Amino acid sequence: MEEAAEDDVSWLIYHEKYWCLVCRVHGYALLNLESHLKHRHRDIKRKAREAIVARHSWLDLRRPPDDDFRHGPSNPRLPVEGVSVLDGWGCDQCGLLTPSRKWLRVHYNEGHSTQGKVPKEPTVKIQTLFTGPKRAIHYFCVTGAERRLETETEREGRAEYHHSKRGGQVGPECLDKTIAKIKEQWVHDQGQQEEMQKVLADGAAKHEITNWLKRSGWTAHFTGRDLGEIHLCSRMPGPKDDRLQRLVAAVDRMFFGRCIAGLKSMPLMARLLLASPHPKDAHSRPFGPLQEKTSMDRYLTYWKRFLCYCMNVLSLESDTLLEKHGFSFADGQRKGLETLSEHLQDGDWQERDLEEELLRVSASFWMQRLDGDPFASPLWHFVAVLGIDGESGQLRPAHLFTYVLAGIVYVDRALLAEYAIPTAQRPGMEDLERRFARVRDTWLCKATYSPMGYTLSLLLYGRKIAKETGSRLMVSWSKQGDLMYFMGKPIPMDAIRAMVHEMITDAETLLWTELMFKEKKGDGDDVRFTIPLADVEDDLTQTQRGQSFVHTNSGLAGKEGEMLEDLVRGKRRQDFLDKDGRWNWEGVRGYLKSVDRFKELFMLSAHMGGGAPARGDELGGLRWVNGINRDRGVFIIDGEMVTVTQYHKSLAHFDSPKVIPRFLPPRVAQLMAMYFVYIRPLTDRWEAEQWALYGKKKPPSDFIWHDENGPWDGTRISKAMAKWSYHYMGRRITLQDWRHIAIAVSKKHARQRGAAKADFEEDDNDDDEAEQYEIPDDLAAAHTTKTAANYGVTIDVLRRLTAESLEIFGQVSHRWHKFLELDQPSSGPPPLPLKREAEADIKPQAPRPSKRARVMHLEKQRLGSGQGQVILKALQAVLRDNHARFRTPQQEEAVRMAAAKETPLVAILPTGGGKSLIFMVPAMLAGAGVTIVVAPYAELKRQLVTRCLDAGIDCKHWPQARDSWPRVVIVSAEAATGDDFMQWAADLSVRGKAGPRGHRSTSVILHSLPLTNTGRSFKD
């Protein structure tokens, strides 16, 4: 079946005369091809199914009237090709046809109050186009070749049956036929049952116990109606449906071009009133565009579906519409839709007039008074239609529907505001306030007899139910905790780790084999190098437009020139330049495609490896340089790459962003740094030249992940994640899926019990001064601890970025790095040190060190001879760079005095000034003894241990250093004042003359003294 699906779809037959598509395999007609393929042809792969649906998307599938198939025993018709021919019986009094002899006997008894004579053998051959729901089944008699062949088959089967009864042996061929016939009947019956399940049974309401469905009234409203058919009518139009495609395009222009753009000229008080559901109160935040256009697109889709739904059912008579769908149009609504439909098919009708007509028709549905049953309103009925889950066939619970209601409310407010006071008429409008109030007070407030009144009421109730009940269980664990079951499917923890590691490795390979142009200069030489983030100075307060840490460090800026030189002088020159030195744009575009693939890989590596995940739009909105009205979101803090997401649900009109820092693993940080320093400057130049070819100029994008349409939105990122997760794990994981998975893993494996608290503002609280205290692991996932209990809609994040939040969220990220085993740099082949620029000249490189260089020196200072040379060699040994020099004379002097045991010694250096070298370099000298470093907070303590070990210095933190006598001991300020440590230090001093290593002295270093003295935890 799979091969047939991909190469041939002859098993699907379209009968244009009857507007129906028949599946020859199952023998009945289809209205929803996509659902049929998904549930009945599971052997066909997803891509093949999508191709089949796309190939048939132009078909106009309908249910033909039963009157077209009034064929009984006296007037049979030729069989419909592809539809199963069944044995049947007919009622000789009313002409009823049925494939069940038993049912015909019941029919005689109940329908005609007589015992009709029902023959044992079938009397007719019958067909039905649809096998469900019950009221859609219509049998008709057929004749012709298929009937005769069927009769011959039955006769042959009966002969074999009687032969076996007489004692003869039944052959394998006969048994195979019997099995095949039974299976075919099972398939037919199962199809009928599945279709019938889409219709709510009459007794369903009696057993419905959820308060949500009772309150919404959906169960009673849809009883006896085909949910599948109703949902099908509400789908977005196919590419061949010109009429509805024109409708959708006009809705876009009308909504964004008039309703949203017109908010700029609307009085502020009107926008404040528009945002409030209370008749007499204004909101504290004005109504306005959402932060992300993708959210508005998603909300507007609900309204597009409503208008398409109305157009699809407009041809039905009022009685039929009420019977099958459960509502009817008001006279003015039907007339407006019919006129709109005519204009949509009129190619000469002006688009501006069409948009105006659309606005009037849209307003007519919202401005309908509902004194009786609210489901008499087409709009309120459609709210219930949106509650049908097209995939599962179920009605949506509260926690999966409140966001839909919120979107409907948003669109309604924008539409009716434009209808009440049109943008073009606002200048000089004398009665603006009265006209706006008349529409708002009657149709846009809660507790009104209007569609908006009912929608707001259901929204408030749904939020209450969602908070009380939470979401369904999506994650469970094995007893050992190493296997997660997500939506019933197993996901080993090792598979998650392997996916992230392979993703990072592939990104590194892509970077160095395709994107960088450096070539090996000798056998076995490795062209790879690292950017020493520990030596990068980054001012977090710097807000100049278009600037980042790349532009403020002279050794990092302007690397596109180095890339150009490597390209022109390298072997790949002919791929990018023609013989005249002009760009070969085909080769450039191929390179840019590789860059997009690289961006996807390192974006997902950062998203999955940086800690608890953020929203997709937050991730896509990260800037690598400062924008006009938003700062960049990537910083270098104490040698680590940190992404800072900003988000507020009303950020566009209430400038109070919340920020969450996420520390990237070392390998991912290097990928991002290489992209910023080398790849991005080059691609920006190429993109500018491409625009110039068309006579246009466009500034480079501020965003890390972008295309010609702007920053990547959540949908783009989610598709990329699904693609690459399927590549690495064989399972498609979307952004929303990953949020569930990552949060569950964090709670199980990467959360510190009794974690520190972090303050943040509860978004649902109207009091802007209210604060709560939440677990940082939950805030890092952009939601509150309360929300994390069931993970639904994210709430908010930290009010501001502070030193305390950096420490707390750094711990969250590092615990996640440890779980993924990403807390250490790659153990692969060591790279060559990065080329260094000293003012105007470039000097040759030294031989490769035995270990990957952790630091790249950006400035050079000269030292004297003698003892200075010994200290200089120790510095180069620590930094793993034979060309390393001290940054400043003050740093050099501090190291010299520390090596000479000068005491007391107070060294004051700026952030990033190399304070750690003051104790690391002397520790490398012979006879240095044991150096005790007091670190004021846990994160610095961890980082110092890592740096020492990377430099080859024997280092441990207290109390692990109790019995091992390392060269450097890192101890926290709290532990340093404890009796246990003080006794150990005293013992170390006494035994120093004959210690296990012959230590002659002990040095004590207070690291980051200002923080020690001013930090609120150390005031005493």
pLDDT value at residue 656: 47
Percentage of residues of the chain with pLDDT beyond 90: 24
* Contact by Cβ (8 Å): 130, 83: no
Q: Specify whether 189 is located in the same domain as 300.
A: no
Q: What is the rounded CA–CA span in Å between residue 263 and residue 296?
A: 14
Q: Is-cis flag, bond preceding 133, omega within 30? A: yes
pLDDT value at residue 743: 85
pLDDT value at residue 171: 59
In a domain, residue 831? The reply is no
Q: Specify whether 524 is located in the same domain as 668.
A: yes
Q: Specify whether 771 is located in the same domain as 655.
A: yes
Percentage of residues of the chain with pLDDT beyond 70: 77
- For the cut 90, the answer to whether the pLDDT of residue 252 exceeds it is yes
Domain boundary among 469, 490, 520: 469
Domain boundary among 197, 232, 259: 197
Q: Specify whether 709 is located in the same domain as 734.
A: yes
Q: Specify whether 226 is located in the same domain as 279.
A: yes
The band of 528, judged by pLDDT with boundaries at 50, 70 and 90, is confident
10 Å CB burial of residue 57 (0-12, 13-18, 19+) is middle
Q: In what order do the strands lie in the sheet with 86-90?
A: 97-98, 86-90, 124-127, 140-141
* Contact by Cβ (8 Å): 425, 266: no
Which CATH number belongs to the domain containing residue 889 in this structure? 3.40.50.300
Residue 406 backbone phi and psi in degrees, to 5: -60, -40
In a domain, residue 757? The reply is yes
More confident residue, 58 or 676: 676
More confident residue, 461 or 170: 461
More confident residue, 7 or 549: 549
Nearest to 395 by CA among 202, 134, 207, 198: 198
- For the cut 90, the answer to whether the pLDDT of residue 48 exceeds it is no
Q: Specify whether 174 is located in the same domain as 310.
A: no
Q: Specify whether 168 is located in the same domain as 317.
A: no
- For the cut 60, the answer to whether the pLDDT of residue 302 exceeds it is yes
Give the ranges where 653-774 is alpha helix by DSSP (H): 666-674, 680-693, 714-729, 735-749
Q: Specify whether 869 is located in the same domain as 1005.
A: yes
The band of 413, judged by pLDDT with boundaries at 50, 70 and 90, is very high
Say which residues have a Cβ less than 8 Å from residue 611's Cβ, sequence separation at least 6: 662, 663, 780, 809, 812, 813, 816
DSSP 825: -
* Contact by Cβ (8 Å): 72, 97: yes
Model confidence, pTM: 0.53
**Contacts of range 98-103, beta carbons closer than 8 Å, 24 or more positions apart:** 98/139, 99/126, 99/139
pLDDT value at residue 148: 41
Q: How far is CA 54 from CA 33, 46, 111, in A?
A: 10, 12, 46
The band of 144, judged by pLDDT with boundaries at 50, 70 and 90, is low
Q: Specify whether 740 is located in the same domain as 880.
A: no
- Helix (H) / strand (E) containing 873: helix 867-879
* Contact by Cβ (8 Å): 624, 681: no
In a domain, residue 858? The reply is no
In a domain, residue 622? The reply is yes
Q: How far is CA 805 from CA 614, 664, 775, 1013, 1017, in A?
A: 16, 16, 12, 19, 14
Q: Specify whether 536 is located in the same domain as 631.
A: yes
The band of 34, judged by pLDDT with boundaries at 50, 70 and 90, is confident
10 Å CB burial of residue 354 (0-12, 13-18, 19+) is buried
Q: What is the rounded CA–CA span in Å between residue 999 and residue 901?
A: 14
pLDDT value at residue 112: 72
Q: What is the rounded CA–CA span in Å between residue 550 and residue 242?
A: 50
Q: Please give the single-letter amino acid code of residue 515.
A: L
- Chain position carrying tokens 């709009």: 379
DSSP 221: H
Q: Specify whether 554 is located in the same domain as 684.
A: yes
* Contact by Cβ (8 Å): 35, 232: no
pLDDT value at residue 946: 80
- For the cut 80, the answer to whether the pLDDT of residue 659 exceeds it is no
10 Å CB burial of residue 47 (0-12, 13-18, 19+) is exposed
Q: Please give the single-letter amino acid code of residue 879.
A: L
- For the cut 50, the answer to whether the pLDDT of residue 643 exceeds it is yes
Q: What is the rounded CA–CA span in Å between residue 12 and residue 33?
A: 10
Residue 646 backbone phi and psi in degrees, to 5: -120, 135
Q: In b/e form, how buried is each residue of 393-423, taking b as 16+ CB within 10 angstroms?
A: eebbbbbbbbbbbbbbbbbbbbbbbbbbbeb
- For the cut 80, the answer to whether the pLDDT of residue 68 exceeds it is yes
Q: What is the rounded CA–CA span in Å between residue 137 and residue 66?
A: 9
Across the range 639-648, mean pLDDT stands at 79
The pLDDT mean for the chain works out to 78
Q: Which domain, by its residues, includes 929?
A: 863-1018
Q: What is the rounded CA–CA span in Å between residue 762 and residue 667?
A: 35
10 Å CB burial of residue 353 (0-12, 13-18, 19+) is exposed
- For the cut 70, the answer to whether the pLDDT of residue 605 exceeds it is yes
Lowest-pLDDT range, 290-294, 631-635, 858-862?
858-862
* Contact by Cβ (8 Å): 329, 339: no
In a domain, residue 855? The reply is no
In angstroms, how far is CA 600 from the centroid of its own chain? 13
N residues, the chain? 1020
- For the cut 80, the answer to whether the pLDDT of residue 785 exceeds it is no
In a domain, residue 306? The reply is yes
pLDDT value at residue 1015: 43
In a domain, residue 839? The reply is no
Say which residues have a Cβ less than 8 Å from residue 953's Cβ, sequence separation at least 6: 878, 920, 923, 924, 967, 968
* Contact by Cβ (8 Å): 823, 665: yes
Residue 844 CB neighbour total at 10 angstroms: 6
pLDDT value at residue 802: 66
Q: How many CA atoms lie within 13 A of 414 on its CB side?
A: 27
pLDDT value at residue 949: 80
In a domain, residue 854? The reply is no
- For the cut 60, the answer to whether the pLDDT of residue 759 exceeds it is no
* Contact by Cβ (8 Å): 99, 126: yes
Domain boundary among 197, 225, 251: 197
* Contact by Cβ (8 Å): 443, 366: yes
* Contact by Cβ (8 Å): 383, 457: no
Q: Specify whether 450 is located in the same domain as 538.
A: no
* Contact by Cβ (8 Å): 327, 375: yes
Domain count, the chain: 4
Nearest to 809 by CA among 663, 639, 1011: 663
DSSP 400: G
Residue 844, strand partner residues: none
Treating both helix axes as pointing N-terminal to C-terminal, what angle do 351-366 and 293-313 enclose, rounded to 10 degrees? 80
pLDDT tens for 841-864 read: 333 333 433 333 333 333 333 334
